[in-house]
Homo-oligomer: A and B are copies of this chain.
Amino acid sequence: MRREAALFGFREIATPIFEHTELFTLRSGPNVVEEIYAFQDKGGRDISLRPELTAPAMRFFVNELSSSARPLKMFYFGQCFRYERPQSGRFREFFQFGAELIGDPGPESDAEVIALAASIMRRIGLKQYTIRIGHIGVLRNMLAEAGVGPEAAPLILQKLDKKEYEEASQRMRDAGMDDERIGKVIDITNTVGPVEVLDKISGDAREHLLGIFRVLQAYGIDNIQVDLGVVRGLDYYTGMVFEMDAPVLGAEKQICGGGSYSLTELFGGEKTFSTGFGIGFDRTLLALEKEGYQAPVHSIDVYVLPVGDSTRQEAHHIAAQLRRAGISTDIDLMGRSLSKSMKYANGINARRTVIVGDKEMAQGSVTVRDMVTGEQTLVKREELLTFLEK
């Protein structure tokens, strides 16, 4: 994930594990305190273990980087914490990988961010994933045109986000909307499909999404859909919103969410449009595992094996030389027998052992054993490094 983000020109940042609690209530509302690790420190300060990394990243931007050239592209990887009931792929301490592109609200910047998220999933080897892209402006505009005020709209959007249509309809009725308009909102929320379904809507949101799809086409990303029901839970999104699913996970399938937003003005900075995403790292790992992904087996280049006490000093010489040359090397430290050492070397997946015996050492040589083929070669001591580097 880090490598892919760097290939896209994003740079890694790191922010503290805890922040003033206010940072998170500013972003997510006061109720978030119920779900997070919020404490008072010994100095009476209200602090919280970070439940997410967008707010810290934007605080960092406002405090330290606000005069940087735009767009500014950053990513992060770190632990977050929520006081919630643990479930499959959802822990109280969890890892989040995320990226933010700061300072440009255009469709190409939105597409760049989505392309990064998709490229990360391809690079880590996730076989099946889908991307659903919507635009928060579509439903917001429909509600505004129907006369729904800024107090009622967020709650309606939250219900629509959770696909709780009955409650959403009731709230729309309470806000004075007629059945026809309510039906249209529900219909738009259920609009899912290829880019052509955008014909259903018009205006800036449509043009913006078409621009995004055009760039993503250049990336050859095809597991992508319009989904105008993607609303995301939070008020601060300003335009495009997207989610990624790993179908192998079943009901709890979302592995990534993001969109364009503005938070800087909440943290004392100028209003700055940004686009970002967060990947649920643990859930993504779970998806990889369910797809049968095998993590690479840990191995080591060389195991150095002194036979008898008289060769131990020379064995340490050899280990020091190999390590300095960048060859990963382990060595018997306990003076074990040849057979026990061989067993240990197998256990740590050593590719070769360098056996340092009395007689060979007297002749200025060591024995190199290939642990896969079992082949043994007598190698002159001064040629050992060259031999192993081949």
In the complex, chain B residues whose CB is within 8 Å of the CB of A11: 298
A243 within 8 A of B: no
Specify which of B9, B313, B327 is in contact with A330 (CB 8 Å cutoff): B9
- The verdict on A334 contacting B81 (CB below 8 Å), with A219-B316, A316-B218 known, is no
- Is the CB–CB distance between B329 and A214 below 8 Å? no
A9 to B302, CA, bound (A): 9
Given A83-B41, A214-B313, A313-B218, A334 and B71 touching (CB < 8 A)?
Answer: yes
Q: Are A49 and B329 in contact (CB under 8 A)?
A: no
Contact (Cβ within 8 A) A334 B109: yes
Min CB distance, A9 to chain B, in Å?
Answer: 3
Interface membership of A60, Cβ < 8 A: no
Within the assembled complex, what's the spacing in Å between the Cα atoms of A312 and B108?
10
Given contacts A326-B7, A328-B7, contact A215 B334 (CB under 8 A): no
Does the CB pair A317–B9 fall under 8 Å? no
The answer to whether A7 and B327 have CB atoms under 8 Å apart is: yes
Whether A115 sits at the interface, judged by CB under 8 Å, is yes
From the candidates B17, B93, B106, B313, name the one contacting A334 in the complex (CB within 8 A).
B106
User: Which chain B residue shows the least CB distance to A105?
Assistant: B334
| Nearest neighbor of A79 in chain B, beta-carbon distance | B17
- Do B69 and A331 touch across chains, with their CB atoms under 8 A apart? no
- A7 touches which of B7, B316, B323 (Cβ 8 Å): B323
A236 contacts the other chain (Cβ, under 8 Å)? no
Q: Do B329 and A8 have beta carbons less than 8 Å apart? A: yes
Q: How far is the CA of A41 from the CA of B347 in the complex (A)?
A: 41
A37 at the B interface (CB under 8 A) = yes
Q: Which residues of B contact A347 (CB under 8 A)?
A: 69
Interface presence of A364 (CB below 8 A)? no
Check: A42 CB closer than 8 A to any chain B CB. yes
CB contacts (< 8 Å) of A93 on chain B: these are 16-18
Kindly list chain B residues whose C-beta atoms are within 8 Å of the C-beta of A13. none
Contact A9–B328 (Cβ < 8 Å): yes
Q: Mark A17-43, 1 if CB is under 8 A from B, else 0.
A: 110000000000000000001010110
**Interface membership of chain A positions 302-324, coded 1 if the CB is closer than 8 angstroms to chain B and 0 otherwise:** 00000000001110110010011
A112 surroundings in chain B (CB, below 8 A): 331, 333
> Any chain B CB within 8 A of the CB of A201?
no
Within A67-98, the residues touching B (CB, 8 Å) are 69-71, 73, 79, 81, 83, 93
State A218–B304 Cα separation when bound (angstroms).
14
Residues B108 and A7 in contact, CB atoms below 8 Å apart? no
Complex contacts, A115 vs chain B, CB 8 Å: 320
A interface residue numbers (CB < 8 A to B): 4, 6-9, 11, 16-18, 37, 39, 41-42, 49, 69-71, 73, 79, 81, 83, 93, 101, 104, 106, 108-109, 111-112, 115, 119, 214-215, 218-220, 298, 300, 312-314, 316-317, 320, 323-324, 326-331, 333-335, 344, 347-348
Of the A-B pairs whose beta carbons lie under 8 Å apart in the complex, a sample of 23, sorted by A's number, is: A6-B328, A7-B326, A7-B329, A8-B323, A9-B300, A9-B330, A17-B79, A17-B81, A18-B49, A37-B39, A41-B83, A42-B83, A69-B348, A73-B330, A104-B333, A109-B334, A111-B316, A112-B331, A119-B324, A218-B313, A218-B320, A219-B316, A220-B320
